[in-house]
């Protein structure tokens, strides 16, 4: 597949519908996880222009920063800390409409206002998380959860 992305306008659902098969094309046949995570971040950033999108992976009982797009971010997050560490501890997706109202939120950037974090499960255990930040309040909803879940399902963790 050609390494360029077709960026479309439209509502969120339409954007995911356009993006998902393109990501599938990018990752299919490539077995390197880091390469695939990197391209997923780039594709999401290009299509949605989110403030920050990236992966943290569980290593030695910490979340450690992995491929991402956006400003530099905190490198390590403890279990139960912040939105990412809570999504890990609870093994569930968290949609935070206003990060300032989330107790213990880790502000990698003061510009971030809302966030969605999806846990990545492998053999029933959290392997890492996908974290997306927006500089707008209330930016993420179940449509993002569904679209991002479909995208994560394309990766072999």
The answer to whether 124 touches 100, Cβ cutoff 8 Å, is no
Residue with Cβ nearer ligand SME (38 or 106): 106
The CA angle 16-41-146, to the nearest 5 degrees, is: 35
Using CB under 6 A as the binding rule, the residues of this chain from 52 to 71 that contact ligand SME are 52
The answer to whether 58 touches 128, Cβ cutoff 8 Å, is yes
Instruction: Using the rule CB under 6 A, give the single segment among 20-28, 73-81, 137-145, 146-154 that binds ligand SME.
Output: 73-81
Which helix (H) or strand (E) segment holds residue 35: the answer is helix 33-48
Least separation in angstroms between CB 85 and ligand SME: 6
Least separation in angstroms between CB 115 and ligand SME: 6
Residue 28, both tokens: 């299919």
Q: Which of 40, 43, 57, 83 binds ligand SME (CB under 6 A)?
A: 83
Burial class (CB in 10 A: 0-12, 13-18, 19+), 157: middle
Distance of CA 79 to the CA centre of its chain: 17
Taking CB under 6 A as the rule, does residue 84 contact ligand SME? yes
Q: Say how many CA atoms lie within 13 Å of 146 toward its Cβ.
A: 9
Q: Per-residue contact track with ligand SME, 115 to 144, x per CB under 6 A?
A: x---------------x-x-----------
Residue with Cβ nearer ligand SME (45 or 105): 105
- List residues near ligand SME by CB under 6 A: 52, 73-74, 77, 82-85, 105-106, 108, 112, 115, 131, 133
């Amino acid at each position: 597949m050609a390494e360029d992305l077709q960026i479309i306008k439209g509502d969120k659902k339409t954007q995911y519908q356009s993006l998902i098969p393109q990501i599938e094309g990018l990752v299919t046949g490539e077995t390197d996880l880091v390469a695939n995570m990197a391209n997923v971040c780039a594709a999401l950033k290009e299509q949605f222009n989110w403030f920050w999108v990236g992966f943290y992976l569980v290593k030695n009982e910490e979340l450690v920063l992995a491929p991402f797009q956006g400003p530099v971010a905190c490198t390590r997050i403890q279990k139960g800390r912040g939105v990412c560490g809570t999504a890990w501890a609870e093994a569930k997706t968290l949609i935070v409409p206003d990060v300032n109202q989330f107790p213990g939120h880790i502000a990698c950037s003061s510009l971030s206002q809302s966030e969605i974090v999806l846990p990545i499960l492998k053999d029933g255990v959290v392997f890492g998380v996908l974290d997306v930040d927006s500089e707008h309040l209330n930016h993420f909803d179940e449509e993002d959860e569904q679209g991002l879940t479909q995208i994560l399902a394309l990766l072999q963790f």
